[in-house]
């Protein structure tokens, strides 16, 4: 069974969100997602300044097998893409909830957001999808 930290929020499309002290939101893909994708060999993260919209593709993660879109869970402006992933995409496999973060976004106040799940709800979703 994959790890699902209790202090994070999740999306149905297997992203996680962490609210940082400065109010920006850190986004990555879940342990379940990285496991399903397999060894990641290429990650394309958005550049700082890019506007992202909730539910729209904001990053691409590619395993040996296939390319997959990552969807932004919030609407806002990217403050940083994880620079380490250009040379070390495998960090998403080994540390999905830490060093494998994809982007940080400053959300638009009151802007639209994807439906967010608690850790318990996300675990249930994984179970239903046959983890």
Q: Which residues pair with 104 in a beta bridge?
A: 26, 80
Closest to 61 (Cα-Cα) out of 83, 43, 45, 75 = 43
Min separation Cβ 41 and other proteins, Å? 4
Nearer to other proteins, 38 or 112 (CB): 38
Q: How far is the CB of 38 from other proteins (least distance, A)?
A: 5
Contact 61, 13 (CB under 8 A): no
The smaller minimum CB distance to other proteins, of residues 3 and 65, is found at 65
Min dist CB 50 to other proteins, Å, is 15
Select 39 or 115, whichever has its Cβ closest to other proteins.
Answer: 39
Residue 89 phi/psi, 5-degree rounding, is -60, -25
C-alpha 80/C-alpha 67 separation (Å) is: 22
Q: Which is nearer to other proteins, 64 or 120 (CB)?
A: 64
- Distance in Å from the first CA to the final CA of the chain: 7
Distance in Å, CB of 87 to other proteins, minimum: 9
At 121, is the secondary structure helix, strand, or coil? helix
The residues binding other proteins (CB under 8 A) are 38-39, 41-42, 44, 60, 62-67, 86
């Amino acid at each position: 069974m994959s790890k699902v930290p209790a202090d994070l929020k999740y999306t149905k499309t297997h992203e996680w969100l962490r609210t940082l002290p400065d109010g920006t939101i850190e986004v990555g893909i879940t342990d379940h997602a990285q496991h399903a994708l397999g060894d990641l060999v290429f990650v394309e993260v958005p550049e700082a300044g890019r506007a992202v919209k909730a539910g729209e593709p904001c990053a691409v993660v590619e395993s040996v097998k296939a390319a997959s879109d990552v969807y932004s869970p919030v609407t806002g402006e990217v403050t940083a893409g994880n620079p380490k992933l250009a040379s070390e995409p495998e960090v998403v496999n080994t540390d999905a909830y830490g060093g494998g973060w994809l982007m940080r976004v400053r959300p638009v106040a009151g802007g639209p957001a994807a439906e967010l799940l608690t850790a318990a709800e996300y675990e249930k979703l994984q179970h239903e999808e046959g983890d």
